[in-house]
Amino acid sequence: MKTFLKSAGFVQSLADPSLFIFRHNNHTIYFLLYVDDIVITGSDNNLLERFIHVLGREFDIKDLGPLNYFLGLQVSYQNDGLHIGQLKYAHDLLVKHDMLLSKPVSTPMSAKTTLSSDDGDILANPTAFREIVGSLQYLTITRPDIAYAVNSISQFMSHPRTSHLLAAKRILRYIKGTLNQGLFIRPQCQPLHISAYSDADWAGCPETRRSTSDYLCYIGTNLISWCSKKQPTIARSSAESEYRALSHASVETTWLAFLLHELGTKVQFPILLHCDNLSATYMASNPVFHARTKHIELDYHFVREKVAAGSHRVCYIPSVDQPADHLTKPLHKHRHSLLTHKLFHQRSSSLRGDVKAIPQNQHIT
């Protein structure tokens, strides 16, 4: 496929090897390949139809028409944007593990719960737990509200206990009450503005004392990328843990800016990085190494280079307004609900999808 696409004039993306881009005059085609599933979109319908016809002569393909369902992602079109969710995938997950009739809960993880490696009895058959965790990890593609909870239970895959299984089932009960949750992508005017929010829960793990860091990346008002992950080493201060999270956010936004450049869109600089720790914001701007920063690995100073180059700017944000707080620790009902509404735009959905306007997207297998 790669050889054929290059012979047809496509250029392989450096940011994403699965993406191929074709440009001719004022027209563009984007070709996204995943194993034997393909998504094609472009600026001209006639050009798309001609290319699909040529592709069909070279390969045995089936045109599934407008994109509605792709790798578990359910796509529905609204008048003012695009809704991407995993309603069918989540519904099937609940059915598979007999949780469809369970009582919903308001948060994916209790704010008073602290998971431990020695809490509860060891599961005699851990297969069901591991299947739930693996499925939930895929569900986080469109569900940042469960990212922290899934990250927490994923740390006990090798020797799961009854308490870990109960925590996994609580996430399923939360999903039962939020099946329609998903991402809503609105059109944005160029130049596109990229921003990120980073946060860290210093020494949040009671066993290893390692911190959990996270970030949320936005293109305009659209939430595009996020991460919740335990840091590989122990941070000696809250400023250090926040600085590491800030560095991860700068790496992700740099990649996003490069991808958008390859797609032919204009990006507004500097990219804004929001952090609720003043010491971390000073560390990102001050080139002087102080005693408490000498031990930090050099790769974490990537953010300092970006700030010095002018491509990024670190901004302070009060903790009460920090949406990334959602991905560092379990929250109480009110706080969880408040931040969830900031992450998502509520839209109605169904198992079949609601197609109101057909864009120029084609799904081919």
Q: What is the pLDDT of residue 286?
A: 77
Q: Domain check: are 164 and 195 in the same one? A: no
Q: Domain check: are 32 and 90 in the same one? A: no
Residue 236 lies in a domain: yes
Q: Domain check: are 234 and 308 in the same one? A: yes
Residue 352 lies in a domain: no
Q: Can you tell me the distance from the alpha carbon of 237 to that of 274, in angstroms, rounded to the nearest whole number?
A: 19
Higher pLDDT, residue 361 or 352? 361
Q: Domain check: are 322 and 199 in the same one? A: yes
pLDDT tens readout for residues 118-177: 889 999 999 999 999 999 999 999 999 999 999 999 999 999 999 999 999 999 999 999
pLDDT tens readout for residues 307-321: 999 999 999 999 888
Higher pLDDT, residue 343 or 186? 186
Tell me the CATH number at 229.
Answer: 3.30.420.10
**Residue 102 pLDDT > 80, yes or no?**
yes
Average pLDDT, the chain: 89
Residue 339 lies in a domain: no
Q: What is the pLDDT of residue 354?
A: 42
Point out which residues pair with 19 in neighbouring strands: 32
Q: Which of 205, 222, 302 is nearest to 260 (CA)?
A: 222
If you average pLDDT over residues 70-82, what whole number do you get? Answer: 90
Q: Domain check: are 61 and 91 in the same one? A: no
Q: Which parts of 287-352 are beta strand (E)?
A: 312-316
If you average pLDDT over residues 40-46, what whole number do you get? Answer: 92
Total domains, the chain: 3
Cβ–Cβ < 8 Å for 213, 222? no
Residue 75 lies in a domain: no
Instruction: Indicate the DSSP class of residue 206.
Output: T
Q: Domain check: are 102 and 223 in the same one? A: no
Q: Which of 86, 83, 38, 43 is nearest to 65 (CA)?
A: 38
Residue 290 lies in a domain: yes
- Above pLDDT 70, what percent of the chain? 92
If you average pLDDT over residues 81-97, what whole number do you get? Answer: 94
Residue 349 lies in a domain: no
- Of 17, 35, 65, the one marking the end of a domain is 65
Q: Domain check: are 129 and 243 in the same one? A: no
- Of 176, 211, 230, the one marking the end of a domain is 176
pLDDT band for position 113 (50/70/90)? confident
Q: What is the pLDDT of residue 355?
A: 38
Q: What is the pLDDT of residue 173?
A: 97
**Residue 348 pLDDT > 50, yes or no?**
no
Q: Domain check: are 198 and 120 in the same one? A: no
Residue tagged 């690995």 (tokens) = 297
Q: Domain check: are 149 and 60 in the same one? A: no
pLDDT band for position 345 (50/70/90)? low
Cβ–Cβ < 8 Å for 173, 102? yes
pLDDT tens readout for residues 262-303: 999 999 999 999 999 998 998 888 766 565 666 677 767 889
Residue 119 lies in a domain: yes
Characterize the bridge pairing of strands 73-78 and 192-201: unpaired
Q: Can you tell me the distance from the alpha carbon of 90 to that of 16, in angstroms, rounded to the nearest whole number?
A: 27
pLDDT band for position 362 (50/70/90)? low
Residue tagged 């089932």 (tokens) = 169
Q: Domain check: are 255 and 309 in the same one? A: yes
Q: Domain check: are 226 and 202 in the same one? A: yes
pLDDT tens readout for residues 13-23: 999 999 999 99
- Of 149, 176, 203, the one marking the end of a domain is 176
pLDDT band for position 24 (50/70/90)? confident
Q: Can you tell me the distance from the alpha carbon of 109 to that of 166, in angstroms, rounded to the nearest whole number?
A: 10
Q: Which domain holds residue 315?
A: 188-330
Residue tagged 């308490």 (tokens) = 163
Q: Can you tell me the distance from the alpha carbon of 265 to that of 192, in angstroms, rounded to the nearest whole number?
A: 7
**Residue 76 pLDDT > 60, yes or no?**
yes
Angle between helices 147-154 and 162-176 (to 10 degrees): 160
Q: Domain check: are 165 and 221 in the same one? A: no
Q: What is the pLDDT of residue 353?
A: 45
Q: What is the pLDDT of residue 284?
A: 87
Residue 348 lies in a domain: no
Residue tagged 């737990």 (tokens) = 129
